[in-house]
Structure 1
Amino acid sequence: MGHSMVAGPQNTLWMYGGLSLSQGILGDVYRYSVPERRWTQMLTSSVEEGSTPAPQYHHAAALVSNHDLMSAVTHNMMLVVGGVTQKGVASDTWSLNLNSLVWKEYKSSLLPPVAGHTLTVRRDSTVLLIGGYSPENGFNHHLLEFSPYTGNWTISPHTGTPPTGLYGHTAVYHEQTDAVYVFGGYRFHLDSVEPSGELYSLYYPNLTWSQLAPSQGNKPLSRFFHAAALLKDTMVIVGGRTGEEDYSNIVSLYQINCNTWIQPGSGVGDPVNRSVSLAMVGLDGTLFLSGGFNGVTLGRLLTLTLPSDPCVLLTSQDACNSSTGSCVWCRGSCASSDMAERLGCSSLQSPCSSTPRLPDECRRLKTCSECLAQHPKTFSIQPALQCKWCTNCPEGACMSSTVSCTSENDCKINQREVFLSSNCAETSCEASDCPKCTSSGKCMWTRQFRRTGETRRIVSVDPTYDWTCLSYGLLNVSPMQVESSPPLPCPEPCHLLPGCTQCLASHGADGGWQNCIWSMALQQCMSPSFVPLRCEAGQCGRLLSSGDSCSPQCSQLTQCSQCIARPQCGWCAARGGNGAGRCLQGGLDGVGVNENTCPQWNSTWSFLRCPE
C-alpha cells in the first residue's frame, strides 16, 4: 500500500516502494509483463555508487521520456519524488532508467519535503507536482514543474481558485482540453481539514485553477487515498477512504466533456475488495489495479475494463434516463449526450454541457468559486451563458450576468458583483498555517475569530476556535483585545514539541485544529493533519490528544476490567484474594519499574485478561 505503479514500454507495468505490514517500508522495483503475466524483481544500480532512493511510501511516480539529441535515442524513465521514509518525509527527486536500471538523483533547493502528492505528465514536456504535506512545510501550496530535459524544478505562478492544502488526492491529464483534473483528497479549506469530494481543473496554457461543480446531478462521495486513471474522455475513480467508510470499492466515472458524474453500480462486474492506498494505471484501454489496504495489505493485480462511453454501462432505459450523467437512451442502448447527437437522437433531456445553459443553473451553484469556475473547454469556446456572484449579503448568490443582484437576492444591502473567481472572498487570506498566512503582510493567524458566513465573522472573548487565517483589518473593528500573529510570533508547530506533556498541552499550530497528537509508538508529536498520512495501518500505535494523560495513572483504577483496558496497565492480584488486587504500570513481562511492588511469591500478574 502507498506504492506507485506506472505503465512502461513494451506492455509492462513498473511498481516501486510502498508499505508492508510484515516487511516495513519497501524500496524494491518490480516489473510486470502483461503478455507473460509475470512479475520480476529488478536489480538496480545508481550513477553514484551506493546512492539510491530510501525505501518510501506515499511518494509519487510518473513515466517520462527523455529524447537524447546527440544519439537520437529516447530513454524511458520512472520519475520518483518525495514520500514517507524511516527518517521522515523526503524532498528528493530520482529517475530510474527503465533500460539500464540505473538510478539518478536530481538535486533541488526548491522542492520541499512532500508526501501524498501527485505527479502528472503533460505531453512529455513537463511534470506537474500538485499538493502534498510534511510536518516541516505543512500543506504544499505551490505548483511545481519538473523539466525532464534540464532536470530542474521551477515554481509556476498560477491563478484562479487552487486547493489551498491537499494530499491523498488523484490527478489525471486530458490531452483534448489540455488540463489536469484533480479529485478528492484530504483537504484544508478555510478553517477545516476533512475528506474532499471536490473536483478541480488546472487549464495548462494559462495555469488557471477552477473548482468544478457538475453541470447536472450530484458530486461523488468525499474520499482520499483512492486511485484514478484516464480512459479516453472519462476519468475513472476507484476505492479510497470516504466520510462513511474506512475502505471503499466504489467506482465513479467523470465525463470530462460533459462535466458530469456517473455511478455505474453493478455495471462494472463483481466489486473489487474495499481498499485504500491502491495504485491504478491505464494500458491500451485496460485499467490495472494493484495492492491496497483494508485491514490487511492486499498483494493483488486486477484488471478493470470499461467501454469508451461510460453511459453504455447503464443497461436499462430507466437507469439511463435517471442517471446523474449526461446519458440518453438512443436506439436501444444508453449513450452519452454528445454521442447520441452524432447518432441523430435528441439529447434535450440530458444535454452535454460543461457549463450552465439556463439562468436557473447558475442559481444552483452555492459558492463563489463554483459560480465563476471556467471548465477547460470554455477557454476556447465562449459559453452561451455567463454567471456572476453577488456578495455583501450574509450569504452570497450565483445568478446570470444579465440580471440584477438586488432583484434576485435582495438583502437591503448594496451588493458587489464578482465576475472573476480570483476575486472571490474565499481566496482572500486563505492559508493553511501561520507562516503562509502572515507572509502577505495583510492577514493574521488567530483562534479568536470564526467564519459564520461568506462575509460574517464572530469574535470570542478568549481564543477558543480552530486556527484560521483572516484579514488583519478585523482588528480595527473588533470590540475586544485579540490574540493573533502578528504581532505575536507564530505558534510552535506540533512536530517541534519534544515531549508528550508539551504536546498535549499545546493548542496546535495548523489551520483547522487547536491541538496536537502524540504517538505512543513513535514517541513523536504531530499535527492532526499529518495523522492519516503517517499513521496508516496503525503505525503510530495509540494516539493521545488533549484530555488524555501521558502517564497511564494505573494506580487510580480500582477494578481489574478498567485496568486491563488501559494501555500499559496490568492487574496485580493477591494470591487467594479472589481477584482482589491493585492496578500497576507494566507490560507482558510484569511490572517493569520495581518488581517488589508485585512480588511473585504472594501475587499474580495479569496484563491481557483478568484472573478468573
Structure 2
Amino acid sequence: MEPGGRARTGPPQPAAPGPWKARPAGGGGGGASFWLLDGNSWLLCYGFLYLALYAQVSQSKLCERTGSCFSGRCVNSTCLCDPGWVGDQCQHCQGRFKLTEPSGYLTDGPINYKYKTKCTWLIEGYPNAVLRLRFNHFATECSWDHMYVYDGDSIYAPLIAVLSGLIVPEIRGNETVPEVVTTSGYALLHFFSDAAYNLTGFNIFYSINSCPNNCSGHGKCTTSVSVPSRVYCECDKYWKGEACDIPYCKANCGSPDHGYCDLTGEKLCVCNDSWQGPDCSLNVPSTESYWILPNVKPFSPSVGRASHKAVLHGKFMWVIGGYTFNYSSFQMVLNYNLESSIWNVGTVSRGPLQRYGHSLALYQENIFMYGGRIETSDGNVTDELWVFNIHSQSWSTKTPTVLGHGQQYAVEGHSAHIMELDSRDVVMIIIFGYSAIYGYTSSIQEYHISSNTWLVPETKGAIVQGGYGHTSVYDEITKSIYVHGGYKALPGNKYGLVDDLYKYEVNTKTWTILKESGFARYLHSAVLINGAMLIFGGNTHNDTSLSNGAKCFSADFLAYDIACDEWKILPKPNLHRDVNRFGHSAVVINGSMYIFGGFSSVLLNDILVYKPPNCKAFRDEELCKNAGPGIKCIWNKNHCESWESGNTNNILRAKCPLKTAASDDRCYRYADCASCTANTNGCQWCDDKKCISSNSNCSMSVKNYTKCHVRNEQICNKLTSCKSCSLNLNCQWDQRQQECQALPAHLCGEGWNHIGDACLRINSSRENYDNAKLYCYNLSGNLASLTTSKEVEFVLDEIQKYTQQKVSPWVGLRKINISYWGWEDMSPFTNTTLQWLPGEPNDSGFCAYLERAAVAGLKANPCTSMADGLVCEKPVVSPNQNARPCKKPCSLRTSCSNCTSNGMECMWCSSTKRCVDSNAYIISFPYGQCLEWQTATCSPQNCSGLRTCGQCLEQPGCGWCNDPSNTGRGHCIEGSSRGPMKLVGMQNNEMVLDTSVCPKEKNYEWSFIQCPACQCNGHSTCINNNVCEQCKNLTTGKQCQDCMPGYYGDPTNGGQCTACTCSGHANICHMHTGKCFCTTKGIKGDQCQLCDSENRYVGNPLRGTCYYSLLIDYQFTFSLLQEDDRHHTAINFIANPEQSNKNLDISINASNNFNLNITWSVGSTAGTISGEETPIVSKTNIKEYRDSFSYEKFNFRSNPNITFYVYVSNFSWPIKIQIAFSQHNTIMDLVQFFVTFFSCFLSLLLVAAVVWKIKQTCWASRRRE
C-alpha cells in the first residue's frame, strides 16, 4: 500500500500587527526539508557505498572468471539471460519454456524462487504418450504459491494436480517420491507465487514412456507386447502394484498356523479365524492397532474428491458431493460397501447442483444435506436444505420457517449432527461455518425436523469463536458435541488455524472450553471410538511471514480422551506409501475407522482403515484401565469392556490422572468471565477483569460461569464481519480496525485518555507482545497504532512521567512480511513522527517497542520477548449505527475494480472472476482454484484485453497471433501450444481448438512459448530480426511503445498518438493519459484550463494565465520542492495597492536564478490576452530584486483599480521564492509626526499649568480662612 499524498498549506494568515508583517512559508508549495548527516553518518554511507561497489566488482569478476550465469552467458561482466530467465545471475524463472527431450529436469532456479513470479513449462512428447513427472524436491508457500499440472498443452486441458507446500516423503526416501502422470503426450506445468515469502522451490524430473517410480527397486521395467510403445513393471515376488511398491504376504502370512498367501488372486494374506492383520500376526481380539489399505473394486479415478461428506447406513458408506478438478463425469452420490469393498454409483436422475464444504447428517432413511459452496462460475455459498432418501434414492428440498427474528446463515465448512433431545424433539444442529455475507459464524443453528422450523438459539457458558473446516463428533453418553480445530478469524484482524476443543451440551445449550490439542489444523477428520475422539490428517500450515516447516497435507493421528480431558499422539500409519491429506471424510463401523478421499496435491480415491485395539483382549484389570492411547476401556465383573458398553446408564467411570489448576499464563488467554470459568483448566475471573489460575490470590473472584455478568464487548468481539456485527444492536463495526466493538457508554471510559479521534491508555506491566495485545483486547482495544503526531506527543509525555520505573512499552507495530512494517490498524509505517533507533529494525525482531521516549526511538524485538509496558488504543465511536453503514460484502462485488476499490478488504481472483474477503482467501480456494489474485491493479478479464505479446504470454491461458506485417502487431487469444481455442460448452467451460482465427495459410503466426523477435508494435519494421529500424507514427522507444514528447496515447499494437492539448501552458503531457504537465505554478487541470482557486490563484488560463493574489504587508514563501513541481518553470503574482497616498515597495528573492518581468494596468481585463499591460521592469538571470513604485508617478489616487503583475520565469526545479509587497510611511511623514507630538506636548503643559494655578488658588484660600 502506498502512502497517501502530502498535505498542502492553507491560505495566508496575518502575523502580529505592526508596520511590516510576516507569515510562515506557504501559498502553494510544500515546506523545505533538510537532510543533516554527522560524521558517523557520512562514514556509514561511504561504508555502504564501498560494500556495494565491492560486491558489484566481485560479482563481475566472478561472472568473468567462472561464468556464474545459471541460465545465460557472461558478456562484458554482465549476465545476459536466456529467454524465460531473469536476475543478476539469471537465477530465477520468469516466462515460458518448451521441453521436447525424452527426459529431463525443470526447476525454478538454484536458489529461492522470486516473489510475484509466473513460470510455465510445456513438455511435448508424442500423441497419447505416458509422461511421468517425479517431484524430487518441492517447497513453496502452502496455500498461496502453487504448481498446476495439466494433462495437455494448455490450462484448458484436464487439471490433474495442484502442488503447494512442502512435499517431502516421510518414509523410505526416494522410492516414495510422488509422481504425477499424464497420458495425452503433453504436460503443461504453471507456477505462480505471490509477494509474501518464498522458499527453495522445486526440482522436477520428467520422462516419456518410462516405468512408474523405476519400479520402486522391486521389479524390472519391461516393454509391453501388446503396445510396443508402452512399458510396465514386472514385479519381484511378494511385491505388487503398478510401481511394485505394495508388499504382500510378509513372513508368508505366518503359514500354516496363522494363515496363507493367496498368490493367484489378489495377492494378500488370508488369515485364519483367530488371527488378523496385514500379515496375520495379531490375535483376535488384539491389544494392538493396525492400518490397512484394502483393495477397492472397481478402482475408478473419477471417485476421487475432497471436502465431500460421508455417513454410515448399515454396511454402506454414503458419499455425497465434494470438490473435483473436472465435474463433467462427476457422480454426486456414491456408496461404498464396507464388507465387499465395492463402489456403487447412485442412480439419481435429478437433484442438487454439485457442491463441496456442505454437511451431512443421517436420520432413519434420510440424509440431510445443508449449505456448502456450489461449484458454478460465481461459487455461491448456499442455504439450501436437501434430503436424500436412501430407499428411493431420490432428492427433495426443504424450506424451513425461520422462527422469531432469527437468521438462517448460508455457510460452508460447517458440521451437523441429528439427535433426539430430552424434550423428545428431533433436531439437526449445525455448528459454525463461514458465510460469504456474515463471515466466520460462531452461532449454532437448529433445524427441527418434525416442525420444519429453523432457529438460532441463545447459548450459555463460554463465548466461543466459530470457524471453517473444523471437525465434530456427537457422544451419546455425555449428550454433547465435541468440536475441534478449524480456520478462524482471530483477534487483532488476524486469521489462521486453531487447536481449540469445545464441548456443546445439546440439552442445556452450554459451551465449555476443553483442553486444546496443541496441533492446529483444519479440514481434518474426527470419529468417536470407545470414548476417544480420533483426529486424522488435515492442513496444518499456519505460517505467515516465515516458513517453520508446517505441511499442507498431514497424516498426524491424535486421540482425545473424553472422560479425562487428555490428548495423546498416536503413531502415524505405517503403510507402504505416504497417506498425508486434508479434506477427507471418516466413518466408523464395527469399531473401525474408514477414511476416504481427500487432497494431497492430487484428488485421492483410496480407502484407509484403522483397526484399534479391542478392550476384550485385555485380561488384566490394570492393563484394561490403562489401555490406550486411542481407546478407553472399563474393568467390569472380571472382564474388560469398551467405554460405550460400560457406560450404558450414562454414569462415567474412568481412571484419570489427577489434574492441577493451570498457570496464570495459561488462563490469561481467556478474555471474558464466561470463557474463563467454563473450561477445564482451573481458572478464575478476578475483579480486575483478568483470568488467572484458581490457585492464585484474588480479592473478589468468580469460578462459575453462571455468576458472570455478560458484557457486550465479549459478544461483539466474536463477530467477524460488518453484516454480522450490525445484527446486534449493542455492537458497532469499526471500519478502521475492521472489527466489531461494543457501543461505549462514554466516549472513552475510565482510565482512557481522549486524544484526537482515539482513546489511549498506557500500562506499565511487563508483558510479551501477544499478552499485551490480549490486555488491550480485554478492554475492547488494540495495541496502539500511533499514526498522528498528537498521539505520539501524548505517549512520549506520559512515559516520561514514570520516574520510579522504566517504561519501554509495546506499540502496535509489527513486521507484516519480509520487508514491510505496518501498524495493527493495517496502515503503513512511514518512519516520520516515530523513528527506528540506529541499527534497527534488526532481523530477529518482528514486533516494535519504544526504547527511548526522549528521541521517539523504536526497537524491534521477538514478539515473545518481554517489554516494560504497553500502549492501548480504541476508537471514539458514535452510538449511531446508521452513521456507518456496511459496505457491500466482497462476495457481492462482481468486477475487479469494485472488488479492489476499498483497500485490502477484498481480493479479486482473475481466473475464477470471484471477489472474496481477504481474511477468507485460503478457505475460499482451499484446493488452489485461484491461479492469480489482485488487491490493487486489475488486469483485463480476457486475453483480448492484453495489447502486447509480452503481456499476453504472462497469462497462462493466452497465446499471441502475430499478423503478416511482422512489425509486432497481433491479437491475444485464449489458446494452447497448437493454436487458438474457443468456448463451446458454457456449462462445463469446454474449450476446443479453433485455428481459423489465426490462419497459418494467410501468413499469421501463432506464438505460445516466446514472442516473435520483431516487437515494434506496428510502427516499424526490424533490422537484424529484432531491432526496430525507425519508429513512425509519432512513436519512440526501443519497441516503439511510447509516444514522442508532446504526444500521448497507447501506441502498443498499432495504437495512435495524439498531440497534447494544454491551452498553451505546457509543452509535454503524460504519454498515456494526456494530462498536461503545466509549466506555470497555479495552473491546473488535465488541459491546463483551470486556476488553482483553492490556493488563491486567479485568472483565466484559456485567455491568459493565472496569478497568485498577494496581500499587502505580508511576506510569502513558495517552496517548489515536491515532485509535483518538477515541470514548473514560472509563477505569476498579482497585487493591488491598499493605500492611495503611499508608495508600493516590492522585494523578491529566490534560491535559483530567474527572469523577472513586472507590468501594471488600470483595466479590469488586464492579465488576459485582451487586456493592456504596461511594462515596468524586465530582468534576466537574477536572484533578487527590490524596487519602489511611487504613488504619485502611478497616480494611485486617480486609479483605484491599478494592478501590478509580477512574472517570474525561466527558473529550474527545485526552487524557493520569497516575495512581498508593502506600503509604509515615507521620511516626509516625520514632519506630521513631530507636529502632532509637540502639539500634544504643549497641550499637556497647558493643562498642567491650569491645574497648578487652581491648586495654588485653593491653598491661598485656605490660608485666609
**TM tier, shorter chain?**
0.7 to 0.9
- Aligned to 1:431, the other structure's residue is in SS state coil
Q: Which residue of 2 aligns with 1:130?
A: 431
Distance 1:172 1:154, change over 3 A: same
Q: Which residue of 1 aligns with 2:1136?
A: none
User: Which 5+ residue runs of structure 2 have no aligned equivalent?
Assistant: 1-305, 403-407, 542-549, 640-653, 740-771, 789-822, 828-872, 983-995, 1014-1265
Q: How is 1:403-422 mapped onto 2 (pairs within 5 angstroms)? A: 403-405=696-698, 419-420=704-705
**2:998/2:1006 contact within 8 Å kept:** no
Cα deviation, residue 96, structure 1: 1.9
Q: What is the TM-score normalised by the length of structure 1? A: 0.73
How far apart, in 1, do the equivalents of 2:353 and 2:997 lie?
46
Q: Which residue of 1 aligns with 2:343?
A: 39
Q: Which residue of 2 aligns with 1:398?
A: 692
User: Which 5+ residue runs of structure 1 have no aligned equivalent?
Assistant: 66-75, 313-327, 345-349, 376-384, 407-414, 468-476, 508-513
Query: 2:508 matched to 1:206?
Result: yes
Distance 1:481 1:96, change over 3 A: closer
Cα deviation, residue 61, structure 1: 0.8
Amino acid at match of 1:198: D
Query: 2:579 matched to 1:281?
Result: no
Query: 2:384 matched to 1:92?
Result: yes
Distance 1:336 1:555, change over 3 A: closer
How far apart, in 2, do the equivalents of 1:397 and 1:305 lie?
42
Q: How is 1:227-242 mapped onto 2 (pairs within 5 angstroms)? A: 227-242=525-540
Q: Which residue of 2 aligns with 1:498?
A: 894
Cα deviation, residue 157, structure 1: 1.8
**2:613/2:631 contact within 8 Å kept:** no
**1:500/1:518 contact within 8 Å kept:** yes
**1:363/1:397 contact within 8 Å kept:** no
**1:129/1:144 contact within 8 Å kept:** yes
Query: 2:724 matched to 1:436?
Result: yes
Cα deviation, residue 143, structure 1: 1.2
Q: Which residue of 2 aligns with 1:114?
A: 411
- Aligned to 1:537, the other structure's residue is in SS state coil
1:465 to 815, 819, 825: 825
How far apart, in 2, do the equivalents of 1:174 and 1:480 lie?
46
Cα deviation, residue 89, structure 1: 2.0
How far apart, in 1, do the equivalents of 2:1011 and 2:420 lie?
64
Query: 2:494 matched to 1:192?
Result: yes
Q: Which residue of 2 aligns with 1:72?
A: none
**2:960/2:1007 contact within 8 Å kept:** yes
Higher gyration radius (CA)? 2
How far apart, in 2, do the equivalents of 1:205 and 1:330 lie?
32
Cα deviation, residue 283, structure 1: 0.9
Cα deviation, residue 53, structure 1: 2.1
Cα deviation, residue 338, structure 1: 8.1
RMSD, matched Cα:
4.4
Distance 1:141 1:566, change over 3 A: same
Distance 1:162 1:306, change over 3 A: farther
Deviations for 1:150-203, whole angstroms, at most 9, x for unmatched residues? 343332221223543312111101122211001111112333221221111102
Percent identical pairs in the alignment equals: 22
Deviations for 1:40-88, whole angstroms, at most 9, x for unmatched residues? 212136xxxx5x22222221111112xxxxxxxxxx2111112222452
Q: Which residue of 2 aligns with 1:69?
A: none
**1:226/1:240 contact within 8 Å kept:** yes
How far apart, in 1, do the equivalents of 2:632 and 2:931 lie?
52
Q: Which residue of 1 aligns with 2:370?
A: 81
Q: How is 1:306-317 mapped onto 2 (pairs within 5 angstroms)? A: 306-307=612-613
How far apart, in 2, do the equivalents of 1:478 and 1:295 lie?
44
**1:27/1:53 contact within 8 Å kept:** no
**2:368/2:388 contact within 8 Å kept:** yes
Distance 1:607 1:460, change over 3 A: farther
Amino acid at match of 1:299: N
- Aligned to 2:883, the other structure's residue is in SS state coil
Amino acid at match of 2:428: V
**2:537/2:581 contact within 8 Å kept:** yes
Distance 1:357 1:37, change over 3 A: closer
Cα deviation, residue 130, structure 1: 0.7
Distance 1:296 1:275, change over 3 A: same
Cα deviation, residue 431, structure 1: 0.8
Q: How is 1:579-590 mapped onto 2 (pairs within 5 angstroms)? A: 586-588=973-975, 589=979
**2:570/2:629 contact within 8 Å kept:** no
How far apart, in 2, do the equivalents of 1:479 and 1:532 lie?
30
Deviations for 1:552-600, whole angstroms, at most 9, x for unmatched residues? 997799xx6x98445577689999x9xx9799855445799xx999999
How far apart, in 2, do the equivalents of 1:77 and 1:175 lie?
20
- Aligned to 2:467, the other structure's residue is in SS state strand
Distance 1:36 1:361, change over 3 A: same
How far apart, in 2, do the equivalents of 1:267 and 1:596 lie?
54
- Aligned to 2:602, the other structure's residue is in SS state coil
Distance 1:336 1:446, change over 3 A: closer
Cα deviation, residue 113, structure 1: 2.0
**2:909/2:934 contact within 8 Å kept:** yes
**1:392/1:416 contact within 8 Å kept:** no
Distance 1:478 1:303, change over 3 A: closer
Cα deviation, residue 123, structure 1: 4.5
Query: 2:885 matched to 1:489?
Result: yes
Deviations for 1:508-551, whole angstroms, at most 9, x for unmatched residues? xxxxxx42111212222222344334424333332222366568
- Aligned to 2:725, the other structure's residue is in SS state helix
Q: How is 1:8-47 mapped onto 2 (pairs within 5 angstroms)? A: 8-9=313-314, 11-23=315-327, 26=330, 28-44=332-348
Q: What is the TM-score normalised by the length of structure 2? A: 0.37
Q: Which residue of 1 aligns with 2:484?
A: 183
Amino acid at match of 1:465: D
Cα deviation, residue 31, structure 1: 2.0
How far apart, in 2, do the equivalents of 1:484 and 1:555 lie?
49
Cα deviation, residue 6, structure 1: 0.7
Amino acid at match of 2:390: L
Distance 1:120 1:596, change over 3 A: closer
Q: Which residue of 1 aligns with 2:353?
A: 54
Distance 1:298 1:611, change over 3 A: farther
How far apart, in 2, do the equivalents of 1:363 and 1:301 lie?
43
- Aligned to 2:898, the other structure's residue is in SS state helix
Amino acid at match of 2:727: S
Cα deviation, residue 281, structure 1: 0.6
- Aligned to 1:39, the other structure's residue is in SS state strand
**1:448/1:461 contact within 8 Å kept:** no
Deviations for 1:73-121, whole angstroms, at most 9, x for unmatched residues? xxx2111112222452221212222222232321125333222111112
Deviations for 1:411-442, whole angstroms, at most 9, x for unmatched residues? xxxx8767527748644542111122233333
How far apart, in 2, do the equivalents of 1:332 and 1:142 lie?
38
How far apart, in 2, do the equivalents of 1:177 and 1:248 lie?
30
Cα deviation, residue 302, structure 1: 2.0
Q: How many residues align?
A: 526
Amino acid at match of 1:21: F
**2:438/2:722 contact within 8 Å kept:** no
Amino acid at match of 1:541: L
Q: Which residue of 1 aligns with 2:308?
A: 3
**2:908/2:934 contact within 8 Å kept:** yes
Q: Which residue of 2 aligns with 1:387?
A: 683
Cα deviation, residue 25, structure 1: 8.9
Q: Which residue of 1 aligns with 2:460?
A: 159
**2:663/2:692 contact within 8 Å kept:** no
**1:160/1:422 contact within 8 Å kept:** no
**1:290/1:299 contact within 8 Å kept:** yes
How far apart, in 2, do the equivalents of 1:260 and 1:4 lie?
28
**2:564/2:656 contact within 8 Å kept:** yes
